[in-house]
Structure formats: C-alpha cells, structure tokens
C-alpha cells in the first residue's frame, strides 16, 4: 500500500500538535517537513528548532526535505532529528558525498529533483539513496497544481530501480489529491506527499483514508 507523508507547510502551527495526533490516528506513515532558506527557493519556512519540537511530540518518522543552497553544510545538524533527509540534486556540489554522509549519520538518504530535471540525472546516485523525491510542482510554495510530466519520471525511476534490483522509496510531492494520487501510485510512487489537500480539510482523517483507499 502507498505511504502518506503529510506536509506541514500549510498547517496552522498553533494547532500543529493536535493535528499531528489526528494524523497519527488516521494512519499516516510519516511527516513531511519542508525547510526553505529564501535562496534556493524564494520562500522561507522553518529550521531545526521547529523540527526538534515536532520530534518531541510524535513517534512518526520525520521526512525532512531541504530546499536550501549547498545543503552539505547542514547535513549533520538536520540529521539529528530526521529519519529521512532529502536535498535537491540541483543545489549540491558533491551529491554522492552528501548522500554517503547522511547514511553515515544513521539517517535514510534521499535526493530530490525539480520539474526541470530528468529522472536519468540521478540514476547513478540511486545505489546511495533510500528514497528519491520527484517534485510535481515548483518547490517553494504550497497549493500548486500537479504537473503531469512527473508521471513519466516516476515510471522511469521505478523501472530503473527494478532493473538494478534496488529497494528504494519513490516519493512525489506537489498537487496530490483524490485525482492525482492514483495516477502517481500507478506510475510508480510509493510515498505521496499531500499538504494543502489534507490540512485544508475539516476532517483530515477522512482525507488520509480517502487517499489510501485509492
């Protein structure tokens, strides 16, 4: 069954602790935390102090997504609380070394590709990854529409992982809802990041169950 990783980017942080408990009860698999620096992407979000606080209030794995410039500078810091730690292929200087460092710190490593980057660009890095994240929107803002070209990338990654006999999670982030979730899953996604679709709902648990049932 596909895994759900709700993105807290669109959550109300004043009620986030209560919302996390509701999501736990709904059966989500992890929490997606977007770290933005205002440089690699034009928006700012939060840093390690917030992630530390969230970690103290849940046993869910934390899926930390670094949308920051030269991420290798902060890997040790964020690995302290992350379970999955992802960074952008386009932002790094030595992506292989960064992935290796994440694993050395006992955290699952992940590489992210923007809509402008092909799946083939990260094929050589797959043996160093526990997960690959395909952005189906431009990174930096919530509430965007799903870009259909992501489906081809998901399929390409699924096929390449199968060819190499690699057991890697394939995650997709952006515009996931009742219409796009089954498309992404059929294309090869094993983890769906859903933010606005879940946190804007009056009944978040029903939204989670709806996506899982698809």
* Active-site residue set: 34, 173
User: Parallel, antiparallel, or unpaired for β 31-36 and 131-135?
Assistant: unpaired
Alpha carbon distance, N-terminus to C-terminus of the chain: 10
Helices (H) and strands (E) in the chain, counts: 8, 8
Cα–Cα distances in angstroms (integers) from residue 32 to residues 8, 57, 156, 159, 166, in the given order: 6, 15, 23, 25, 23
180 near 214, Cβ under 8 Å? Answer: no
Question: Per-residue b/e over 156-168, b at no fewer than 16 CB within 10 Å?
Answer: bbbebbeeeeeeb
Give CA–CA dist 9/142, Å, rounded. Answer: 7
Check the CA dihedral 178-179-181-182 and report its sign: positive
Rg (CA), the chain: 16
Three-state secondary-structure class, residue 15: coil
């Amino acid at each position: 069954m596909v895994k759900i990783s709700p993105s807290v980017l669109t959550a109300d942080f004043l009620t986030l602790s209560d919302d996390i408990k509701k999501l736990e009860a709904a059966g989500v698999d992890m929490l997606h935390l977007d770290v933005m620096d205002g440089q690699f992407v034009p928006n700012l979000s939060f840093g390690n102090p917030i992630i530390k606080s969230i970690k103290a209030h849940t046993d869910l794995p934390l899926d930390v997504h670094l949308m920051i410039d030269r991420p290798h500078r902060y890997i040790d810091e964020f690995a302290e609380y992350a379970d999955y730690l992802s960074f952008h292929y386009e932002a790094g200087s030595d992506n292989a070394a960064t992935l290796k460092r994440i694993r050395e710190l006992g955290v699952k490593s992940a590489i992210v590709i923007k809509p402008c980057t092909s799946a083939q660009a990260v094929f050589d890095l797959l043996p160093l990854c526990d997960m690959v994240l395909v952005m189906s929107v431009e990174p930096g803002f919530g509430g965007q529409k799903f870009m259909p070209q992501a489906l081809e990338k998901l399929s390409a990654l699924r096929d390449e992982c199968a060819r190499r006999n690699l057991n890697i999670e394939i995650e997709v982030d952006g515009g996931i809802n009742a219409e796009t979730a089954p498309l992404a899953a059929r294309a090869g996604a094993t983890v769906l990041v859903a933010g606005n679709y879940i946190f804007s709902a009056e009944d978040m648990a029903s939204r989670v169950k709806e996506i899982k049932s698809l």
